[in-house]
Amino acid sequence: MGERQIRVMTVDDHPLMTAGITSEINSQSDMTVVAQASDGKAAIELFRTHRPDVTLMDLRMPHVGGLEAITAIRSEFSRARIVVLTTWAGDIKVLSAFKAGAVGYLLKDTLRTELIDTIRGVHMGERRIPPEIALQLAQHAADDALTPRELDVLRGLAQGSPNKLIACDLSIAEHTVKNHIKNILSKLDANDRTGAVIIAARRGYIDL
């Protein structure tokens, strides 16, 4: 029976979260936790050692974050099945996770039954996205993405920097900064700088 069990690795820097998930998984007859990592660097090393069937990956962790860890693991093990388990629901974060190679995305307030079902489904080769996240992706599917330069300007806005300072930091003209801000407000459907920062953070463009 041991050989038929789904071997799971958890990656999260919150001990209580890890303990709860591990307990739930180990209480199932068809799965077991084989490794636990508290940051992305340890996750990459433990994946090489244990080769789990399914990995549950948090995104926000010290040292090496979840997205970097997913990218690194998938580049080495193309068939790795990784499910993101996070508090971040923003569509940009979700898209980034799938581009990195994740096959599932769950929020931490998900019911434990949904987590267990997702582990089984992903192990069978399915991709899993909860309806509320799929809806959010659909709502923004036609939106124009922010360019790398617009993201640079947006980070300046998030720090409360005036246009002149943003221009100086990015070595561009102040009127260019104003044009970028105009584009940012339009793309994010925001009324002002503060609104743009709030919307960008909610969607996962920036971390506050």
Q: Does residue 1 have a pLDDT over 50?
A: no
29 plus 86 within the same structural domain:
yes
Instruction: Tell which wins on pLDDT, 173 or 3.
Output: 173
Q: What is the DSSP letter of 145?
A: P
Chosen domain end from 140, 172, 191: 140
Residue 33 belongs to some domain of the structure: yes
Phi, psi of 195 (to 5 degrees): -60, -40
Q: What is the CATH number of the domain that holds 164?
A: 1.10.10.10
133 plus 153 within the same structural domain:
no
Q: What is the model's pTM?
A: 0.82
Can you count the helices (H) and strands (E) in the chain? 10, 5
DSSP-derived 3-state class of residue 80:
coil
Tell me the H-state helices in 126-188. Answer: 131-139, 148-158, 163-170, 174-188
Q: Which of 83, 99, 111, 7 is nearest to 49 (CA)?
A: 7
Chosen domain end from 88, 113, 140: 140
Chosen domain end from 140, 166, 186: 140
Q: What is the dihedral of CA 81, 85, 90, 96, to 10 degrees?
A: -30
For 169-184, how does the pLDDT look when each residue is reduced to its tens digit (9 = 90+)?
Answer: 999 999 999 999 999 9
**Quick one: pLDDT at residue 2?**
44
Give the structural domain span for 165. 148-203
Question: For a pLDDT cut of 70, what percent of the chain falls above it?
Answer: 99
Q: What is the dihedral of CA 157, 162, 168, 169, to 10 degrees?
A: -30
124 plus 158 within the same structural domain:
no
Pairing of strands 6-11, 31-37: parallel
What's the structural domain count of the chain?
Answer: 2
For 140-198, how does the pLDDT look when each residue is reduced to its tens digit (9 = 90+)?
Answer: 888 888 999 999 999 999 999 999 999 999 999 999 999 999 999 999 999 999 999 99
